[in-house]
């Protein structure tokens, strides 16, 4: 049977669309927004919505009378209107597959790039400034540093494994994870003690609930002077105005951010103008390898829905909509 999947995110390139189509079941159809962002007939014709980081509003859902299910290709679903989904009986499922390795590698990339002033050094070399000696006084190695992980879930564990290979000492703060026995890492239960001990604080938790602005003026003030802040999770975890003040005051050595409170970034965001801050455009999990893995898992879940099988990774708020009814055309 044939089903139509609407990929909600505008700006998807044909190369990305080809990767998505390459993982689709035979006979299924993919529709995407036009290059200008117009959704056209996509919502009206679709049986399923596949979304990356775009908001899914009540208006989108109302415009899709045939919609049966929403599959998020990641794990951060705070921009999906769950109340509108419940009103229509539409389940929402996540795709944790394919995220962990890319984000873990990007986390290490940001740490090393800030520590080694990579952007400044590369841009300087291109401009004829050979800073062989100028950067030595403020460049550092990850070896021997204490990497503080906020969150020790799937991604946190992948980061820890890679950091240990660099010779870092890994500590973590996570009220929901006990002391790990299979990794040489140390849990610290007191947040103040954790923040004061870490040379690098790296965030690996969702942005929901009490985690919003987890990094704020108070927690920044408790961090070790000269520490780094790394965020590859969600922009809402960091109070950016407080971070700007901490950077201006010289409390931090720098920051590596793949996510911001407002995306895409605009030039009036002061974080873009610090030499010791590296910002990337929400690409930590954005690799070809990860996308193919995610699409295999996403379409496997959509197939489960059509066959009346139990879905995987339904969001907890809509767990009761995990129906086992064969979908009929």
Which is catalytic among the residues 60, 68, 213, 282?
A: 282
Calpha distance 181→41 (Å, rounded): 53
For residue 306, give the H/E element and its range: helix 288-307
8 Å CB contact between 51 and 78: no
| Residue-by-residue DSSP string for 28-87 | -EEE---TT---TTHHHH-SEEEESSS-B-HHHHHT-TT--EEEESSS--TTB-HHHHHH
- Is 263 among the catalytic positions? yes
Calpha distance 98→107 (Å, rounded): 15
Q: How many CA atoms lie within 13 A of 14 on its CB side?
A: 1
Burial of 252 (0-12, 13-18, 19+ CB in 10 A): buried
User: Does the CA dihedral 81-22-11-118 come out positive or negative?
Assistant: positive
Record the tokens describing residue 17, joined without a space.
């669309």
For residue 320, the 8-state DSSP code is: G
- Is 78 among the catalytic positions? no
Which is catalytic among the residues 263, 288, 307, 324?
A: 263
Task: For tokens 């529709």, name the residue.
Answer: 31
For residue 198, give the H/E element and its range: none
Which is catalytic among the residues 157, 234, 240, 261?
A: 234
- Is 282 among the catalytic positions? yes
Burial of 177 (0-12, 13-18, 19+ CB in 10 A): middle
- Catalytic residue list: 234, 263, 282
């Amino acid at each position: 049977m044939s089903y139509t999947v609407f990929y909600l995110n505008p700006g998807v390139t044909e190369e990305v669309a080809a990767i998505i189509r390459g993982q689709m079941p035979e006979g299924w159809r993919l529709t995407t927004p036009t290059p200008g962002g117009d959704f056209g007939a996509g919502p009206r014709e679709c049986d399923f919505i596949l979304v990356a980081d775009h908001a899914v509003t009540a208006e989108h859902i109302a415009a899709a009378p045939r919609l049966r299910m929403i599959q998020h290709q990641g794990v951060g679903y705070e921009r999906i209107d769950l109340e509108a989904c419940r009103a229509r009986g539409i389940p929402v499922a996540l795709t944790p597959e394919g995220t962990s390795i890319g984000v873990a590698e990007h986390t290490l990339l940001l740490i090393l790039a800030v520590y080694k002033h990579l952007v400044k050094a590369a841009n300087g070399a291109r401009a004829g400034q050979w800073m062989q000696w100028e950067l030595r006084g403020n460049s550092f190695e990850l070896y021997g540093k204490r990497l503080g992980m906020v969150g020790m879930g799937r991604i946190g564990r992948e980061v820890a494994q890679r950091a240990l290979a660099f010779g870092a000492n890994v500590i973590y703060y996570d009220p929901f994870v006990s002391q790990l026995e299979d990794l040489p890492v140390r849990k610290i239960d007191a947040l103040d003690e954790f923040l004061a001990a870490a040379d690098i604080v790296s965030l690996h938790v969702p942005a929901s609930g009490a985690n919003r602005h987890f990094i704020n003026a108070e927690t920044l003030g408790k961090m070790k002077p000269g520490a780094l802040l790394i965020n590859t999770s969600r922009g809402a975890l960091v109070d950016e105005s407080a971070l700007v003040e901490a950077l201006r005051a010289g409390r931090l050595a720098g920051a590596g951010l793949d996510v911001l409170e407002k995306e895409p970034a605009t030039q009036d965001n002061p974080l873009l103008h610090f030499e010791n801050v590296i910002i990337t455009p929400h690409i930590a999990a954005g690799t070809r390898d990860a996308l193919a893995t995610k699409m295999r898992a996403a379409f496997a879940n959509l197939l489960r829905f059509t066959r009346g099988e139990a879905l995987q990774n339904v969001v907890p708020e809509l767990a009761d909509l995990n129906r086992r009814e064969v979908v009929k055309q």
